[in-house]
Amino acid sequence: TNDLWNLETRKPLLECNPLNAMVLKYMTLKKTNLCVAVDETNKEKILQTIQSIGGYVCAIKLHADIIDDFDQSFIDELTTLSKHHQFVIFADRKLADTGNTVELQLTHGSLHIADWANVVTVHSVPGPPILQSVLNIIKQNKALKGSLLIASLSSKGALTDAEYSKKSLEMANDAKNVVSGFICQKRPSDNPEFLYWTPGVNELKSTDGLGQQWRSIEDAIKRDGNDIIIVGRAITQSQNPVEVARDYASRAFELWKSR
Ligand code: BMP
């Protein structure tokens, strides 16, 4: 019912999940449901961008594997910025393998994601074992607190149809201590315990010529029922990322509150 979506009613439900408690705290404190995807390839550039827009986001999403000079000093500075500006560090790793491999991918290699990211994306295609393995790592008390299950993708012709989304939801319902929410286009469920994060948002363009499908902030939040907008190039490649981030954050937050 509508009541469950009222923030006062929903707050205690979300706070049962450590990651969602953190995200919700930043959202309400900073009045923003904007997550910026900083898809740059150089650590100085990434840190500069975060420094400038950090005040307007509840989360910063990174693809660590595209950073040419990723190292421990980057992790240290990123962590410092996250504490100063109060945002969640989101590694968009899109894990999609067998359990043992996923545990290794989260803890080893040059990225050792669980040591610095608070949340990671997980594909549902391997089935329930992937979530057990993510849970095994969350239990180790590293930075990693939760995961987002990919219920659907924004790219043209994505294979994540309604049936796939439904099965992803079932997986998440059986693993609420691992799954904090979803990456989705349309919200796959009316369960207010999850947070619904959506990429594919751009106020000016509808496609990038490489299969990405963008829609407006209003469609993402009101029509499609999402909580948090994930915005990349509309902000990072604009003339004035700070102004655009501020504008996207305030518009998205108003729409979210009035939904
Ligand atoms: P942009 O707004 O520049 O298209 O960036 C969107 C970001 O969200 C990218 O980092 C992309 O990898 C990610 N993403 C997406 O675009 N669609 C999805 O379905 C899932 C994603 O993680």
Q: Is the pLDDT of residue 259 over 90?
A: no
Kindly indicate the confidence band of residue 4, based on its pLDDT and cuts at 50, 70 and 90: confident
Distance 232 CA to ligand 1 centre (A): 7
Residue 255 has pLDDT above 70, yes or no: yes
**137 Cα: distance to centroid of ligand 1 (angstroms):** 25
Nearest residue (by CA) to ligand 1, atom 17, is: 154
Mean pLDDT computed over every residue of the chain: 97
pLDDT tens for 22-64 read 999 999 999 999 999 999 999 999 999 999 999 999 999 999 9
- Packing angle of the helix pair 72-85, 43-53 (nearest 10 deg): 0
| Residues forming the active site | 92, 94, 97
The residues, any chain, with a CB within 8 Å of residue 193's CB and separated by 6 or more, are 13, 14, 16, 17, 20, 176
Q: What is the mean pLDDT of the segment spanning 91-111?
A: 98
pLDDT tens readout for residues 173-185: 999 999 999 999 9
Q: 179: Cβ below 6 Å to ligand 1?
A: no
Model confidence at 157: pLDDT above 80: yes
Q: Is 133 annotated as a binding residue?
A: no
Percent of the chain having pLDDT more than 70? 99
153 C-beta closer than 6 A to ligand 1: yes
- Tell me: is residue 3 an annotated ligand-binding position: no
| Predicted pLDDT of residue 1 | 52
Binding residue per annotation — 212? yes
Ligand 1: does its nearest atom lie under 6 Å from the Cβ of 39? yes
* 231 CB within 6 A, ligand 1: yes
199 alpha carbon – ligand 1 mean position (Å): 5
Indicate which residue's Cα is closest to atom 21 of ligand 1: 199
pLDDT of the residue at 214? 98
206 assigned ligand-binding residue = no
Nearest CA, atom 19, ligand 1: 153
The answer, yes or no, to whether any atom of ligand 1 lies below 6 A from the CB of 232, is: yes
Average pLDDT over residues 83-102: 98
Model pLDDT for residues 117-133, shown as the tens digit of each residue: 999 999 999 999 999 99
Of all protein residues, whose CA lies closest to atom 15 belonging to ligand 1? 199
Residue 139 has pLDDT above 70, yes or no: yes
| pLDDT for the residue numbered 85 | 98
Spacing, Cα 152 to ligand 1 middle (Å): 12
- Tell whether ligand 1 has an atom less than 6 A from the beta carbon of residue 200: yes
pTM over 0.90: yes
- Assess whether the C-beta atom of 238 lies below 6 angstroms from ligand 1: no
User: Which ligand 1 atom is nearest residue 158's CA?
Assistant: 19
